[in-house]
Amino acid sequence: MSVATSLPAGPREHRLADLSPRKIVAELDRHVVGQGRAKRAVAIALRDRWRRQRLPRELAREITPKNILMIGPTGVGKTEIARRLARLTDAPFIKVEASKFTEVGYVGRDVDSIARDLVEAAIRLVKEERRARVMDRAATAAEEKLVDLLVKATALDPVTGTAGITEGRDRIRRDLREGRYETRDVELEVTDDRTPQISVMTPQGVEEMGIDLPGMLPGLFGGPKKKKAKLPVSDARPLLLEAEADALTDEATVPQEAIRRVEETGIVFLDEIDKIAGREGSRGGPDVSREGVQRDLLPLVEGTTVKTKHGLVRTDHVLFVAAGAFHVARPSDLIPELQGRFPIRVELDALSEDDLVRILTEPEHALPKQAASLLSADGIDVVFEREGLSAIAAAAAELNRNLENIGARRLHTILEKVLEEVSFAGPDAAGARVVIDAAYVGRALSDLVKNRDLSRFVL
């Protein structure tokens, strides 16, 4: 029985097999607070992709992904759920704003660029994975190159003269590993492989294209430009490591693998889809192409073939996750054909004060932990008390109620205001211990809380 994928199961495939919907939700819980319904929907959609790959090829072709429409105010976790989902599975992922696309014939990007950008993201992903697999061998080869360069540099040293060679390669290698040569200059050849970028009009729209003239006319240009440069060992090491990793990976098959990855596991997050909702002609002005954008999106979401510079890519099994606040428009304002292509609809809840407290305390890399780590670089010990975090969350909730509700993003603004003084002090406060409690937060926000007009602009 033939199955949808005949490739040997690698570490990535084994990881997908172990990710049950319950485990996916548990992993998302580490980074996103609440929104259980949205997490369950994306977990099921992700598991369905793995299930489809286990089916006979003929049946797998007929099963299309259940695209998801997330409805909820800004700052509640819509984008973060989709981004974390892609990282969890090492899937090609791009986030695009639906409002920046225009109908064909208007000035702006056309929707086919979504598929092209997704292929580019997949190529970067495949290259990083392949480099990671050969990094140990590349590091060994780069170290040998550095030893060769140091032997040469030592032999030409005007102080030590040629007698430096007698130190032996083993001693130089040992000293190199101990960091004794980090500031020593070595001479190596570097390649200028930059490709000129020009904007050209193509059938797909205006795109930035690289014209590789030396590659097309090697007899005329004589190959890539190389030049000798003197660099300290600390700067030369990453260049040599990258060159050795590229030499050990099969660059020719990267586009093929990237396109396969896009077609099987690609994820597109369409943000602000509510901004293109509404019937054409219902409003005048520059919004006349909104319905046209929806109609252009339709074949991409339904499944079509898009021409890219790396080859043809089919979007039949790309998962589309759309999101919008829908404050003014409604999901029913989308054209019926596009509505039907997002069968799973999930409403995300606005964040309460308790949710904001959880966002400050529960995630693995919560905002207070990030802020404390940044200030520790200046030798400042910042400690967040539970009462202080509750005060920050209470201030954010109040401002969201009284001003525009921007969800968890309000926490960034308030946290920066609370830490403004100690952040400005920087190294001058090295060795200090700062306790962020309720009183500290109250003092930091007192002026803004009193002056409502000022807080409207600052917070």
Amino acid letter, 290: R
Measure CA of the first residue to CA of the last residue in the chain; give whole Å.
Answer: 61
Give the CA distances from residue 52 to residues 5, 260, 303, in Å, rounded to whole numbers and listed in that order.
Answer: 9, 15, 16
Domain 353-450 grouped into CATH 1.10.8.60: yes
**Residue 371: both structure tokens together:** 């802020």
Give strand ranges (E) for 74-155: 93-97
Q: How far apart are CA 260 and CA 307, in angstroms?
A: 14
Q: Are 6 and 55 in contact (CB under 8 A)?
A: no
Domains 11-121+258-347 and 353-450 share a fold: no
Q: Are 326 and 73 in contact (CB under 8 A)?
A: no
Q: How far apart are CA 42 and CA 24, in angstroms?
A: 9
**Residue 195: both structure tokens together:** 């490709």
The enclosing H or E element of 1 equals: none
Q: Which residues pair with 97 in a beta bridge?
A: 271
Domain ranges across the chain: 11-121+258-347, 136-256, 353-450
Q: How far apart are CA 394 and CA 406, in angstroms?
A: 14
Q: How far apart are CA 397 and CA 403, in angstroms?
A: 10
What superfamily would CATH give domain 11-121+258-347? P-loop containing nucleotide triphosphate hydrolases (3.40.50.300)
**Residue 441: both structure tokens together:** 């937060």
| Assessment of whether the complete model's pTM goes beyond 0.85 | no
Per-residue tens of pLDDT for the chain, all 459 residues? 444 443 344 555 556 667 888 998 988 888 888 888 889 888 898 888 888 888 898 898 888 888 989 888 888 888 888 888 878 878 898 888 887 776 554 445 678 888 999 999 999 999 888 888 888 888 888 888 888 888 877 664 545 444 444 457 788 888 888 888 888 877 777 776 555 555 555 444 445 444 444 545 555 545 556 677 778 878 888 888 888 888 888 888 889 999 999 998 898 988 888 888 865 445 554 455 677 788 888 888 988 999 888 889 999 999 999 988 887 888 888 888 888 889 988 888 888 889 899 999 988 889 999 999 999 999 999 999 999 999 999 999 888 888 878 888 889 989 999 999 999 988 888 888 999 999 999 988 887 655 555 455 555
Q: How far apart are CA 272 and CA 97, in angstroms?
A: 6
**Residue 353: both structure tokens together:** 């004060």
Q: What is the pLDDT of residue 75?
A: 83
Q: What is the pLDDT of residue 187?
A: 76
Max Cα distance, the chain (Å): 85
